[in-house]
């Protein structure tokens, strides 16, 4: 490790630019963020820094002077800061500021836009395979509605009329729920701030979507949910993660059927989410490859190879971890671990 001591970086400015830098740099092992500062105590980057256990300070001279900082990244956009740094930076530190830091900020924004595009592209590619499932789930209630309505035209028994009318109402509600679920899934992930997401409900929602994408023919479902499991993140992106993992699990069991297990557990401030199948499994030498973009063993039209790549992007953005255990012909378990969040709508601890 002697030649890879991490580079010590200080971030000045914790607005959107500072927060994006933080998110990016904190994922790079060869960089150590020694601290971040902003005049505004409510700056979004400061909040993010606290959840990542990165020191937050208002003392700029101390931050740049006393921590062996090698690189100062100034994204305050404040010309006075630039002047101050020129005069006071330690001789061993480099400064990235002014137009250089604006350029970096633009590159980061561009990358996150590309990431969102890729996510959406993969989602839309997958929706092609929904057609059969959607047609089935819409036409079945329509058959019920049509049959009952034809019968109602001749029905004389008032009690029967009443009962059948209620059946029709139920069937219409079921049909419209399908459209609601699908439009919610297919829309672009809304860029809103992270919120507390109930994992169990999100898994159930993903299950509904995944049923359109693939036939659950011969698959047994097992749910082991711990009530109250919640994580902080973007609900649309989490849905996308779960749909991907469930769809992969179902695909793996396509030949011989099997059991799909969804499990959530809250333990020591962490949430574990486990999605297991008893399908074909993954050869040990392939495991490092499955998260690579475009790695797929599926036929064109069935797999894009982008699913797990996007899953990984979202999970690391949420400061979570993903691990895989798998045995060929026995099955696979994908485990996601996130910091536990307070379930929405409940009081503080």
Partner 1 sequence: MSDFNSGFFVGGEACNGRVLVVDDEPDIRKVVKMTLQKAGYAVLEAENGEKAIEVINSGENRLMLDVMICDIRMPKVNGAEAIAYFRSNYPHVPLIVLTGFPDTDMATSFLRQGVVDYLVKPVEGEKLRSAVARAMEQRELARL
Ligand X SMILES: Nc1ncnc2c1ncn2[C@@H]1O[C@H](COP(=O)(O)OP(=O)(O)O)[C@@H](O)[C@H]1O
Name the residues that contact partner 1, by CB under 8 A: 131-132, 135-148, 150-151, 167, 171, 215-218
178 Cβ partners below 8 Å, 6+ apart? 134, 137, 138
β-pairing, 31-37 vs 56-57, is parallel
Q: Candidates 49-57, 115-123, 177-185, 247-255 — which segment interacts with Mg ion by CB under 5 A?
A: 247-255
Rank residues 265 and 302 by Cβ distance to ligand X and give the closer one: 302
Tokens 């894009």 belong to 304
Determine if 249 is a binding residue for ligand X (CB under 6 A).
Answer: yes
Determine if 307 is a binding residue for Mg ion (CB under 5 A).
Answer: yes
Q: Which of partner 1, Mg ion, ligand X, none does residue 136 bind (CB under 5 to 8 Å by kind)?
A: partner 1
Least distance from ligand X to the Cβ atom of residue 182, Å: 20
Least distance from ligand X to the Cβ atom of residue 301, Å: 10
Q: Which of Mg ion, ligand X, partner 1, none does residue 235 bind (CB under 5 to 8 Å by kind)?
A: none
CB 234 within 8 A of CB 320: no
CB 202 within 8 A of CB 245: no
Strand residues in the chain grouped as ranges (E) = 7-12, 31-37, 56-57, 71-74, 94-96, 195-198, 219-224, 230-233, 258-267, 270-277, 321-327, 331-339
Q: For the range 309-312, what are the long-range contacts, defined as Cβ-Cβ under 8 Å and sequence gap of 24 or more?
A: 309/118, 310/118, 310/119, 310/122, 310/240, 310/241, 310/244, 311/240, 311/241, 311/244, 311/245
Determine if 320 is a binding residue for Mg ion (CB under 5 A).
Answer: no
Q: Candidates 69-77, 78-86, 108-116, 280-288 — which segment interacts with ligand X by CB under 6 A?
A: 280-288
Rank residues 131 and 201 by Cβ distance to partner 1 and give the closer one: 131
Which of 89, 295, 316, 317: binder of ligand X (CB under 6 A)? 295
Q: Candidates 80-88, 147-155, 211-219, 243-251 — which segment interacts with ligand X by CB under 6 A?
A: 243-251
CB 310 within 8 A of CB 244: yes
Rank residues 233 and 307 by Cβ distance to Mg ion and give the closer one: 307
Least distance from ligand X to the Cβ atom of residue 126, Å: 8
Least distance from partner 1 to the Cβ atom of residue 208, Å: 16
Q: What is the DSSP letter of 42?
A: T
Tokens 């490859």 belong to 289
The 266-305 site mask, x for binding Mg ion (CB under 5 A), equals: ----------------------------------------
Determine if 307 is a binding residue for ligand X (CB under 6 A).
Answer: yes
Q: Which CA distances in Å does 239 have to 81, 152, 204, 234?
A: 42, 41, 10, 9
Where residue 6 falls (left for φ over 0; alpha for ψ -120 to 50; beta otherwise) is beta
Q: Which of Mg ion, partner 1, ligand X, none does residue 282 bind (CB under 5 to 8 Å by kind)?
A: ligand X
Rank residues 89 and 208 by Cβ distance to Mg ion and give the closer one: 208
**Angle at Cα 117 formed by Cα 250 and Cα 286, nearest 5°?**
40
> Of 146-205, which residues contact ligand X (CB under 6 A)?
none
Which of 101, 248, 264, 276: binder of Mg ion (CB under 5 A)? 248
Edge to edge, the sheet with strand 31-37 lists 56-57, 31-37, 7-12, 71-74, 94-96
Residues of this chain that bind ligand X (CB under 6 A): 244, 248-249, 252, 277, 279-282, 290, 295-298, 303-305, 307-309, 332
């Amino acid at each position: 490790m002697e030649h890879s001591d991490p580079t010590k970086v200080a971030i000045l400015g914790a607005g959107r630019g500072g927060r994006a830098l933080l998110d990016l740099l904190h994922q790079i092992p060869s960089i150590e963020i020694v601290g971040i500062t902003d005049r505004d105590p409510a700056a979004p980057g400061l909040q993010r820094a606290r959840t990542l256990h990165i020191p937050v300070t208002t003392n700029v001279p101390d931050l740049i002077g006393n921590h062996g900082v090698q690189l100062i990244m100034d994204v305050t956009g404040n010309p006075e800061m630039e002047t101050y740094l020129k005069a006071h930076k330690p001789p061993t530190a480099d400064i990235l500021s002014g137009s250089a830091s604006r350029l970096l900020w633009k590159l980061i924004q561009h990358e996150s836009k590309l990431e969102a595009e890729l996510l959406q592209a993969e989602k839309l590619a997958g929706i092609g395979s929904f057609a059969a499932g959607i047609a089935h789930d819409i036409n079945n209630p329509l058959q019920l509605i049509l049959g009952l309505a034809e019968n109602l035209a001749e029905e004389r028994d008032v009690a029967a009329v009443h009962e059948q009318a209620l059946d029709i109402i139920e069937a219409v509600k079921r049909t419209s729920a399908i459209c609601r679920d699908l439009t919610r899934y297919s829309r672009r992930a809304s860029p809103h701030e992270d919120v507390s997401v109930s994992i169990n409900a999100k898994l159930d929602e993903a299950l509904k979507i995944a049923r359109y994408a693939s036939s659950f023919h011969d698959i047994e479902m097992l749910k082991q949910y711990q009530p109250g499991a919640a994580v902080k993140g973007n609900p649309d992106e989490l849905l996308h993660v779960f749909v991907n993992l469930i769809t992969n699990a179902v695909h793996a069991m396509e030949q011989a059927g099997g059991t799909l297990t969804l499990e959530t557990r809250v333990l020591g401030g962490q949430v574990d989410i486990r999605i297991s199948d008893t399908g074909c499994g993954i050869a040990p030498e392939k495991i490092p490859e499955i998260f690579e973009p475009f790695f797929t063993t599926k036929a064109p039209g069935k797999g894009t190879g982008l699913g797990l790549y996007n899953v990984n992007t979202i999970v690391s953005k949420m400061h979570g971890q993903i691990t895989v255990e798998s045995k060929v012909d026995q099955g696979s378990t994908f485990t996601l671990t996130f910091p536990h969040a307070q379930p929405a709508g409940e009081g503080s601890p």
